[in-house]
Amino acid sequence: GQNIDQPTEMTATEGAIVQINCTYQTSGFNGLFWYQQHAGEAPTFLSYNVLDGLEEKGRFSSFLSRSKGYSYLLLKELQMKDSASYLCAVWDTNAGKSTFGDGTTLTVKP
């Protein structure tokens, strides 16, 4: 089976940097996704990591350590519009599906 843990809530200040952690346990790991979901809307894809290391994409970066079962999403130069839920999802190649964490609700304050 799979177990994915991420903090429930985080608060940060506009312009700051925030790191959202995700730990996972899975039998057939083949990639980790981060999605952003604004209230009442569909999740939208942010990043995909399958190899160890840091992937940078503009203000967002995602890191993966397969040996530690650990990932983080780093958001720089926070903007008010970044207030959303951030979902960590692990692809299990044995199961042929992604399992999602419960999401981290990020609130950006002025």
Partner 1 sequence: NAGVMQNPRHLVRRRGQEARLRCSPMKGHSHVYWYRQLPEEGLKFMVYLQKENIIDESGMPKERFSAEFPKEGPSILRIQQVVRGDSAAYFCASSDRGHSSSMNTEAFFGQGTRLTVV
DSSP reduced 3-state for 22: strand
Q: Which of 10, 23, 31, 76 binds partner 1 (CB under 8 A)?
A: 31
Chain residues 42-101 in contact with partner 1, contact rule CB under 8 A: 42-45, 48, 50, 87, 89, 91, 93, 95-101
If the CB atoms of residues 69 and 101 are measured against partner 1, the closer one turns out to be 101
* Radius of gyration of the chain, Cα coordinates, nearest whole angstrom: 13
Residues in the chain: 110
Which among 89, 101, 72, 86 has a CA at the least distance from the CA of 29? 89
Residues that bind partner 1 (CB under 8 A): 30-31, 33, 35, 41-45, 48, 50, 87, 89, 91, 93, 95-103
